[in-house]
Amino acid sequence: MLVKWIRCTVVDRRGFERGQRKWAGLPGEPGFRGQGGGWSRIRPNVAHVVAFWESRPFYDSFMARSHDRLAAGQSGTYKDIQTKLFDYRFDVKTGFEPRFTDADVLRVAHCRVRDERVEHFSLMQEKVWNPAMAGSPGMVRGVFGEAPGNEFLIMSMWASAAEHGKYRTERIERLLLRAQTEADVTALAGDVVALEPSWTV
């Protein structure tokens, strides 16, 4: 599975949201698995969208054929767009499905990892972070993806901002130390996204 993560700063909020509804045409695309997103709870006017495709060939075919027509509806409504593709590596909690209807909040963490620490970083995600998140009330599902150049995306969905907030205050410091995250990571950018139901495809 291929995971596409898009982040942009929106300059015309109403126009952007109107354009976002045009992506409702995606389910007819071969290999498309699901898409959702919303507004950052931390940075005003920053939007995040996450899309899932069965494989890179299906995604490339969509980009060559239909993408520009669907994207035209949002032209001029945003700036500073960043798009990244990640290969699915494993679930955060079991049974990942690319759907958004039972979650309110999406947590995105984008990490760049030192060459010699990639194996350790992945192992800590599996042995330390995943069990901690999976055992937290309100954590619905998540995914761990990898891109060339030692880049990783950890995405988790939560039933509510309150549940995610509790996990953060109770666990994060301890887990960071246990997983030795500082030794693994050269850069870490994260955000908390309030999911917009009308953006779910």
Q: Please, what is the average pLDDT of the chain? A: 95
Give the separation between CA 118 and CA 114, rounded to whole angstroms.
6
Give the separation between CA 67 and CA 23, rounded to whole angstroms.
9
Residue 160, pLDDT > 90, answer: yes
CA distances (Å), origin 137, targets 1, 10, 144, 159, 188: 27, 33, 20, 9, 25
The predicted model scores a pTM of 0.94
CA distances (Å), origin 29, targets 59, 62, 83: 9, 7, 20
Question: So where are the chain's domains?
Answer: 2-199
pLDDT tens per residue across span 12-42: 999 999 999 999 999 999 999 999 999 999 9
18 within 8 A of 76, measured Cβ to Cβ: no
Residue 70, pLDDT > 90, answer: yes
Of the pLDDT bands very low, low, confident and very high (cuts 50, 70, 90), residue 132 is very high
Of the pLDDT bands very low, low, confident and very high (cuts 50, 70, 90), residue 115 is very high
Task: Give domain 2-199's CATH number out of 3.30.70.100, 1.10.1740.10, 3.30.9.10, 3.30.70.1560.
Answer: 3.30.70.100
Of the candidates 157, 158, 154, the one whose C-alpha atom is nearest the C-alpha of residue 189 is: 154
> What pairing do the DSSP bridges indicate for beta strands 151-158 and 139-147?
antiparallel
